[in-house]
């Protein structure tokens, strides 16, 4: 497998040329002093090295070895503890953390690129710090001052890792029915008892402590999602002076044997009267969890992008090296026994599909991260508008990046032919690893329901109109730009198609409670394709003027043309499917399946 080379040129292009990150940063007081182009460049270059030199080399071995569970103790594969130490010593755990508690306060636009590199190199590894980041976000947003001071600095430093304990054997999507109990104690803490499953990084040997954020119910809590509270439960109790004390009643009962991400410990956790502290308000645990969910879900989407990029890099290398059959145009390398397979139209289709989906996804990821930054660091109406955009686009990013992540890694594997199925080549691991991203952090079906339901039907399409207006503004601004003519008209057509389909679903939902669910997944894919078209048009608007003189920009423009010509047409089929409505979905009696 080709060595991983971080796509720094693409990242810098998106950050600074397409989305003008430095201007945004300069305009925001909280960022003006910490983030600038020079710092960003240095950070990206450092992570590129760490990813290539430290994380990538233990990706295959980690898959082969997997995590081990022995008598309640989880051991990560060889090299993982050392890599984690290197990661923490580089200060990476603090990158986007709150400066009041030792964080660097960097913007998510930058964090998104950093995450992509980590995930491209090693998704299993990435999950340990990613979960810690998520826990830090929740503590920072909802924890008491005391909790923040006690836990955040060590978590940013990575000395203590984080874990999120939501799922129970009978309660996955439906957290309202969890059974884990939290009983108030006289000292203000709570006694937590219950069993959780699928806890990523629930136990491991990377850090000296693990801070669990646990959803549980108070004895008198209302039924359903409005009776859930959030608790901070450390694996090892922390003394007043910050030193580690006794072991808490938290234990790992087993780890799962999975299709992929085998170097990530997926734990069954038992809480036996474990000591915990309330985070946020009683019965508002789900809401507290959801404030950081947008970051986490974008992060999972980025895992899909990272795996796609990794697969693409290997596939290109293979397609240039492997000789097999002749070009349909006649021999291209007559001195060899055959031509490199990159001459074949269908191999190019596979590679270009990867390239176009990764490029569109990376642009959309940066665009969503920009709205996240504005929603965090901005003020007033600007902030509100950004929050709305984040709410709408997060499920698209999570589900579309990862659905396309499976498609991309399968394509990369297919380029390798039979060798793609053999473990040593590494392509099949990417398929197995990326598959989980369509499932966890809310399945992609749940994302789609969130997009069309809570984010669209529930507000009569108000959020959608904000996005549509943003696209329309771009279309209007470029209406007379001849260099963009071949993109602007199709983009306008596709936007109209998406508007029409959205209106149709809004209308159908008035009568038919099944309409949103019936539309959901194809609607999200339709939305994703149109959003990528918008992204590629934006990319071209910057790249086209420089394309004649520069290979990089020309490559961007040609990939955009491929996207519009060959991939965007899929919207016609998706729209047709959505518009067919719920009738044929709901008609078959349960016993006749």
Measured distance between the N- and C-terminal CA atoms of the chain, rounded to whole angstroms: 43
Contact status: 443 vs its own copies (CB under 8 A):
yes
With H, G, I as helix, E, B as strand and everything else as coil, classify residue 383: helix
Residues 535-554 close enough to bind its own copies by CB under 8 A: 551, 554
- Told to judge if 441 belongs to the known catalytic residues of this protein, a careful annotator would answer yes
Binding to its own copies (CB under 8 A): which residues in 157-176? 167, 170-174, 176
Q: Is 397 in the site for its own copies (CB under 8 A)?
A: no
Residue 246 three-state SS: strand
Determine, following the binding rule CB under 8 A, whether residue 380 of this chain makes contact with its own copies: no
Question: What 8-state DSSP symbol labels residue 95?
Answer: T
Q: Which of residues 80-139 bind its own copies (CB under 8 A)?
A: none
Q: Is 251 left (phi over 0), alpha (psi -120 to 50) or beta?
A: beta
Interface residue with its own copies, options 22, 205, 256, 465 (CB under 8 A): 256
The CB-of-493 to its own copies minimum distance in angstroms stands at 12
Of how many residues is the chain composed? 593
One residue of 72, 242, 334, 417 binding its own copies per CB under 8 A: 417
Whole-number minimum distance, CB 451 to its own copies, in Å? 12
Stretch that binds its own copies, among 1-9, 110-118, 204-212, 418-426 (CB under 8 A): 418-426
- Looking at the Cβ atoms of 292 and 410, the one nearer to its own copies is 410
Strands 73-75 and 160-165: unpaired
Distance CA 134, CA 130 (A): 6
Does residue 582 interact with its own copies by CB under 8 A? yes
Report the SS3 class of residue 168.
Answer: strand
For 115, half-sphere exposure in the C-beta direction (CA atoms, 13 angstrom radius) is: 32
Residue 95 has which token pair?
């990158």
CA distances from 556 to 13, 32, 401, 467, 568 (A): 10, 30, 19, 24, 16
User: Of 276 and 442, which has the nearer Cβ to its own copies?
Assistant: 442
Binding residue (CB under 8 A) for its own copies from 307, 390, 436, 540: 436
Q: Total residues contacting its own copies (rule CB under 8 A)?
A: 101
CB hemisphere CA count around 582 (13 angstroms): 16
329 is a contact residue toward its own copies (CB under 8 A):
yes
Minimum distance between the CB of residue 79 and its own copies, rounded to whole angstroms? Answer: 20
- Quick check: 254 binds its own copies (CB under 8 A)? no
Task: State the minimum distance, in angstroms, from the CB of residue 20 to its own copies.
Answer: 25
Give yes or no for residue 57 binding its own copies (CB under 8 A): no
Q: Which residue of the set 116, 441, 494, 522 is catalytic?
A: 441
**Is residue 586 a contact point for its own copies (CB under 8 A)?**
yes
Q: Are strands 190-200 and 209-216 parallel, antiparallel or unpaired?
A: unpaired
Which of the residues 258 through 317 are near its own copies (CB under 8 A)?
258-260, 316
496 part of the interface to its own copies, by CB under 8 A: no
Q: Which stretch binds its own copies (CB under 8 A): 44-52, 78-86, 428-436, 459-467?
A: 428-436
Give min distance, CB of 38 to its own copies, in A. 28
Q: Is 448 in the site for its own copies (CB under 8 A)?
A: yes
Least distance from C-beta 356 to its own copies, angstroms? 10
Letters for 188-217 (x = contact with its own copies by CB under 8 A, - = none) are: ---------xx-------------------
Residue 517 is a binding residue for its own copies (CB under 8 A)? yes
In the complex with its own copies, the residue whose CB is nearer, 332 or 383, is 332
Binding status of residue 572 toward its own copies by CB under 8 A: yes
Query: Is residue 571 part of the contact set for its own copies (CB under 8 A)?
Result: yes
Residue 266 CB, nearest approach to its own copies (Å) = 8
Of 123, 115, 124, nearest to 74 (Cα)?
Answer: 124
558 counts as binding its own copies under rule CB under 8 A: yes
Give the rounded distance of the alpha carbon of 204 from its chain centre. Answer: 23
DSSP code of residue 452: I
Least distance between its own copies and beta carbon 196 (Å): 12
- Reading the block at residue 23, the tokens are 């201007």
Alpha-carbon torsion angle 301, 10, 467, 141, nearest 10: 50
Burial of 219 (0-12, 13-18, 19+ CB in 10 A): exposed
Contact 515, 505 (CB under 8 A): yes
Q: Are strands 190-200 and 181-184 parallel, antiparallel or unpaired?
A: antiparallel
As a three-state string, the secondary structure of 286-317 is HHHHHHCHHHHHHHHHHHHHHHHHHHHHHHHH
* Residue 570 engages its own copies in binding (rule: CB under 8 A): yes
23 binds its own copies (CB under 8 A): no
Question: Does 532 sit near its own copies (CB under 8 A)?
Answer: no
Cβ atoms of 461 and 499 closer than 8 Å: no
> Rounded to an integer, what distance in angstroms lies between the CA atom of residue 214 and that of residue 576?
43
Of residues 164 and 278, the one with the C-beta less far from its own copies: 164
Residue whose CB is less far from its own copies, 55 or 319: 319
Beta bridge partners of 187: none
| 324 lies in the binding site for its own copies (CB under 8 A) | yes
Residues 6+ apart with CB under 8 A from 411: 311, 315, 350, 351, 353, 354
Q: Which residues are catalytic?
A: 441
């Amino acid at each position: 497998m080709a060595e991983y080379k971080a796509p720094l040129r693409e990242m810098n292009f998106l950050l600074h040329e397409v989305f003008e990150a430095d201007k945004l940063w300069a305009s925001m007081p909280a960022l003006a002093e910490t983030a600038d182009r020079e710092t960003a460049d240095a950070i990206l270059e450092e992570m590129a090295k760490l990813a290539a030199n430290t994380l990538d080399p233990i990706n295959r071995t980690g898959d082969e070895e997997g995590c081990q569970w022995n008598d309640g103790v989880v051991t990560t594969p060889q090299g993982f503890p050392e890599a984690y130490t290197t990661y923490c010593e580089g200060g990476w755990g603090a990158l986007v953390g709150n400066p009041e508690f030792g964080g660097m306060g960097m913007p998510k636009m930058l964090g998104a690129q950093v995450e992509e590199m980590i995930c491209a190199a090693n998704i299993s590894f990435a999950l340990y710090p990613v979960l810690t980041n998520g826990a830090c976000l929740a503590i920072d947003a909802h924890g008491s001052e005391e909790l923040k001071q006690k836990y955040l600095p060590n978590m940013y430093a990575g000395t203590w890792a984080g874990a999120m304990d939501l799922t129970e054997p009978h309660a996955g999507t439906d957290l309202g029915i969890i059974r884990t109990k939290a009983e108030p104690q006289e000292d203000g803490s709570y006694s937590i008892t219950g069993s959780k499953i699928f806890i990523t990084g629930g136990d491991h040997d990377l850090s000296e402590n693990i801070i669990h954020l646990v959803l549980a119910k108070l004895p008198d809590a209302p039924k359903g999602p409005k009776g859930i509270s959030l608790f901070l439960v450390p694996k090892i109790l922390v003394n007043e002076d910050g030193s580690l004390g006794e072991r808490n009643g938290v234990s790992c009962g087993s780890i799962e044997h999975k299709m992929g991400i085998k170097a990530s410990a997926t734990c069954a956790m038992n809480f036996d009267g474990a000591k915990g502290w309330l985070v946020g308000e009683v019965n508002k645990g789900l809401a507290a969890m959801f404030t950081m969910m947008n970051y986490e879900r974008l992060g999972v989407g980025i895992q899909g992008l990272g795996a796609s990029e990794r697969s693409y890099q290997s596939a290109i290398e293979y397609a240039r090296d492997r000789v097999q059959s002749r070009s349909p145009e006649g021999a291209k390398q007559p001195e060899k026994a055959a031509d490199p397979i990159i001459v074949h139209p269908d191999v190019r289709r596979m590679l270009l599909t990867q390239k176009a989906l990764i490029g569109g996804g990376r642009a959309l990821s940066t665009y969503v991260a920009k709205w996240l930054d504005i929603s965090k660091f901005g003020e007033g109406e600007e902030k509100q508008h950004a929050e709305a955009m984040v709410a709408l686009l997060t499920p698209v990013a999570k589900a579309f990046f990862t659905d396309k992540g499976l498609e991309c890694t399968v394509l990369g594997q297919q380029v390798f032919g039979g060798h793609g199925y053999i473990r040593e080549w590494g392509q099949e691991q990417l398929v197995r690893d990326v598959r989980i991203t369509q499932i966890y952090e809310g399945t992609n079906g749940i994302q789609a329901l969130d997009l069309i339901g809570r984010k669209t039907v529930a507000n009569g399409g108000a959020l959608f109109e904000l996005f549509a207006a943003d696209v329309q503004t771009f279309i209007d601004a470029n209406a007379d730009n001849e260099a963009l003519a071949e993109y602007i008209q199709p983009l306008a057509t596709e936007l109209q198609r998406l508007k029409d389909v959205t209106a149709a679903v809004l209308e159908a939902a008035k009568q038919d409670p099944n309409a949103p669910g019936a539309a959901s997944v194809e609607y999200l894919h339709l939305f994703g394709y149109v959003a990528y078209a918008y992204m590629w048009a934006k990319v071209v608007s910057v790249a086209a003027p420089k394309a004649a003189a520069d290979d990089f920009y020309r490559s961007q423009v040609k990939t955009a043309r491929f996207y519009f010509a060959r991939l965007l047409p899929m919207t016609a089929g998706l729209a047709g499917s959505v518009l067919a409505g719920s009738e044929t979905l709901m008609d078959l009696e349960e016993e006749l399946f």
